[in-house]
């Protein structure tokens, strides 16, 4: 099992527990916030970049959803996993991210560049350039 697959499994457990803890009633907002906390714990990238990426995911895929009360869908969890994969430089599920996602990730990396260790910055920018997002 890869780290990204483990992340997805942890998200599924988190959703299940949040339902059980609320007598079967689902609180999508709390669940999404808990998933973001899990995402932030899973990444090894220091600084504000992971938080910025998580906020982008929530704003773009959760808050703009036609049914936010049912979020996150499996597809949106997979997208967050792909963002985690990008941050961790694993290359897993990159095809799940759109051109707009790559452009935004490029902007976020560029904005946070001065606070990132050089090796991490180089790895992230290499992927961004490869994707043609800058």
Q: What is the pLDDT of residues 104-125, one digit of tens each?
A: 999 999 999 999 999 999 999 9
Residues 78-90 have a mean pLDDT of 97
Lowest mean pLDDT among 19-23, 71-75, 130-134: 19-23
Which pLDDT score, from 0 to 100, does residue 117 have?
97
The residues, ordered by sequence, that sit 6+ positions from 1 with a Cβ below 8 Å of its Cβ are 9
Which pLDDT score, from 0 to 100, does residue 70 have?
86
Instruction: Convert the pLDDT of each residue in 20-51 to its tens digit.
Output: 887 778 889 999 999 999 999 999 999 999 99
pLDDT at 131 over 90: yes
pLDDT band at 134 (very low <50, low <70, confident <90, very high): confident
Which pLDDT score, from 0 to 100, does residue 18 have?
87
Please state, in angstroms and rounded to a whole number, the distance separating the CA atoms of residues 2 and 6: 6
Please state, in angstroms and rounded to a whole number, the distance separating the CA atoms of residues 37 and 14: 11
Which pLDDT score, from 0 to 100, does residue 63 have?
93
When the pLDDT of each residue in the chain is averaged and rounded to a whole number, the result is 94
Which pLDDT score, from 0 to 100, does residue 96 have?
96
- Residue 16's H or E segment, with its range, is helix 3-21
Token representation of residue 50: 């992971």
* Nearest alpha carbon to residue 132 among 108, 99, 110: 99
Domain boundary assignment for the chain: 3-130
């Amino acid at each position: 099992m890869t780290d990204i697959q483990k992340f997805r499994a942890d998200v599924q457990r988190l959703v299940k527990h949040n339902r059980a803890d609320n007598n079967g009633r689902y609180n999508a907002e709390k669940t999404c916030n808990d998933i973001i906390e899990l995402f932030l714990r899973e990444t090894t990238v220091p600084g504000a970049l992971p938080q910025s990426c998580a906020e982008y995911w929530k704003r773009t895929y959760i808050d703009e959803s036609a049914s936010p009360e049912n979020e996150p869908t499996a597809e949106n969890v997979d997208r967050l996993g792909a963002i985690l994969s990008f941050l961790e430089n694993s290359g897993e599920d990159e095809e799940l991210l759109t051109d707009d996602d790559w452009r935004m990730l490029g902007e976020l990396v560029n904005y946070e560049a001065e606070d990132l260790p050089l090796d991490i910055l180089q790895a992230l920018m290499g992927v961004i350039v490869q994707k043609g997002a800058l």
